Every structure is written in structure tokens, then in C-alpha cells.
């Protein structure tokens, strides 16, 4: 049971970025689109694609005067099929989110909202609970640094009796030299109703750079890992057991337009 909870507790993604403030005023209503290819889709340190690549697309709407926003994001996954086994369904993750962000004053910012992780046609309930998950989140930022707190109002990604599970996210995005951004992240996942040993930490150190001469494409590389032990796995036994949170390098190519 411990392996099941650890392997499935963090099995979705919410990937979003906030544009830097510009000198020119923004339009009242702003719509942006994003697309990315990643060598391995990691979420909260755990691979969602069995260490294989993923194609990801999304769209965001922002009402600038109020700070209200809404968005959607899709990616391919493998963790549900791997965990359920033969006959497992649910190879798409579709995120829907909305919230409000703005300035608190004194250089501080805030961001509050809700996020629904939807897995069309998933049959994870065959072994536990439905994988669909809803979380509320709140974030406080200061300069390039931030702290974010998330709490599930449903079972967490199919883990039984895991309502009110929590995730803590501390990080920042710092500009270095030649337009290269340094991204740092440290996270802690707790799973409500499970032994303390089911909780774990994850981290990421990444570099990225946007190339205007290449149509604004952003290239990134990150070192990602967790403190999970070997043997925690959702991959089918026939493919060999793999630690889904093992340390590794992830490459990405993305564009916002």
C-alpha cells in the first residue's frame, strides 16, 4: 500500500509561468498560448511518462485590470496505465485552472486559485479511487522568489482516503548572465491519511534561455530528483521496476505566443 501511495500521490502536472512586467501597458484582455516538448514529464519530482518524452500544449486568459485569469493545459502520460496494468486507461492529463493574482504592496505579490486535474476515461478506480483531483492553492512572491501552498479537496490522484493532502513549494527564478535564467525549487508532499513515511521531498535546479533569433523558442535543462528510495515504481514488472523519483536530467524546448 505504501508503494501504491508513493507512486501515485503526485501524478499530474501544473506547468505555468508568469510574464515579467513590461513598461508598456497591457491590453485589458490578454490571451497567450504555449507549447513544449520535454524529454521526461516530471511533476513534483516523479516521472509521469516512464522517463519518456511528452508533448504539452496550453492556453491562458488574463484580465489585466483585475488580475483574474483562467487557463488550460494538456500533456500525454503513462502513470495510470502503468499502475492499473493490463486494461489501464487514461493516457491524457487535462488541467483546468482559474484564479486571481496581483500586488500586496511592499514588493510582495499574491496568486490564489483552484486547479482541476482531469484524466479522460481513466479507470484508476479499478484499484483505488478515481484519479481526477481538485486542489486549491495560494502563493506569495517577493521579487524572483515565491512560496506556494496547495491542498487537495478530493482524493489525491487516486490515493484512497487522501483528501486534504498538502504540497509545499519554495523556489525562485533568477536572471544570471546573457539572458540565462536560473530556476530553483524545493517541494514537500504530504499525503493525508497515510503514514509519515509516505511523505517525501523533491527538488529541481534548472537553466533556461529564450532565443529571440529562433522565433522566441526557450531551451531548458534541469536536474530533478526526490528522496524516494529505489523500488518505488509504477512501471509494469515486465518492463523492469524503476524508481519513479530517481534523480535525472530533463531537457525542454518551449514557446509562448
Q: What is the pLDDT of residues 197-239, one digit of tens each?
A: 678 999 999 999 999 999 999 999 999 999 987 545 544 544 5
Mean pLDDT, to the nearest integer, of 174-199? 91
Which domain does 138 fall in, by range? 2-256
Three-state DSSP state, 109: strand
CB atoms within 10 A of CB 23: 4
Number of domains in the chain: 1
pLDDT over 50 at 11, yes or no: no
Residue 6 DSSP code? H
Q: Please tell me the pTM assigned to this model.
A: 0.88
Identify the CATH number of the domain in which residue 163 sits.
Answer: 2.40.160.40
| Cα torsion angle, 170, 61, 108, 24, sign | positive
State yes or no: pLDDT of 253 exceeds 50: yes
Question: Which residue in 205, 241, 222, 231 sits closest to 2, CA to CA?
Answer: 231
The model's pLDDT over 139-179, given as tens digits with 9 standing for 90+, comes to 999 999 999 999 999 999 999 999 999 999 999 999 999 99
**Is 61 in contact with 31 (CB distance < 8 Å)?**
yes
Q: What Cα–Cα distance (Å) separates residue 143 from each residue in 106, 159, 171, 186?
A: 10, 36, 11, 17
Which string of DSSP letters, residue by residue, matches 27-66? PSEEEEEEEEEESS-EETTEESSTT--EEEEEEEEEETTT
Which of these, 80, 103, 111, 105, lies nearest to 93 by C-alpha position?
80
| Per-residue confidence band for 243, with pLDDT thresholds at 50, 70 and 90 | confident
Percent of the chain with pLDDT over 90: 77
Amino acid at each position: 500500500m505504501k508503494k501504491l501511495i508513493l507512486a501515485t500521490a503526485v501524478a499530474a502536472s501544473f506547468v505555468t509561468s508568469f510574464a515579467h512586467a513590461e513598461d508598456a501597458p497591457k491590453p485589458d484582455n490578454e490571451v497567450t498560448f504555449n507549447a513544449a516538448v520535454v524529454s521526461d514529464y516530471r511533476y513534483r519530482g516523479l516521472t509521469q511518462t516512464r522517463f519518456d518524452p511528452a508533448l504539452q500544449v496550453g492556453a491562458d486568459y488574463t484580465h489585466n485590470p483585475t488580475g483574474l485569469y483562467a487557463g488550460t493545459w494538456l500533456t500525454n502520460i503513462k502513470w495510470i496505465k502503468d499502475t492499473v496494468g493490463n486494461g489501464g486507461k487514461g493516457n491524457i492529463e487535462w488541467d483546468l485552472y482559474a484564479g486571481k493574482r496581483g500586488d500586496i504592496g511592499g514588493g510582495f505579490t499574491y496568486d490564489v486559485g483552484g486547479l482541476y486535474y482531469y484524466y479522460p476515461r481513466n479507470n484508476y478506480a479499478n484499484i483505488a479511487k478515481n484519479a481526477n483531483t481538485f486542489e486549491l492553492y495560494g502563493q506569495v512572491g517577493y521579487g524572483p522568489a515565491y512560496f506556494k501552498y496547495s491542498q487537495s479537496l478530493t482524493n489525491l490522484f487516486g490515493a484512497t482516503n487522501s483528501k486534504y493532502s498538502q504540497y509545499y513549494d519554495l523556489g525562485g527564478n533568477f536572471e544570471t548572465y546573457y539572458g540565462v535564467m536560473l530556476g530553483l525549487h524545493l517541494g514537500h508532499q504530504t499525503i493525508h491519511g497515510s503514514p509519515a513515511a509516505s511523505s517525501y521531498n523533491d527538488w529541481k535546479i534548472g537553466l533556461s534561455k529564450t532565443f529571440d533569433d529562433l522565433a522566441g523558442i526557450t531551451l531548458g535543462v534541469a536536474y530533478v530528483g526526490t528522496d524516494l528510495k529505489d523500488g518505488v515504481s509504477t512501471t509494469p514488472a515486465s518492463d523492469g521496476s524503476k524508481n519513479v523519483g530517481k534523480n535525472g536530467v530533463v531537457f525542454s524546448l518551449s514557446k509562448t505566443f
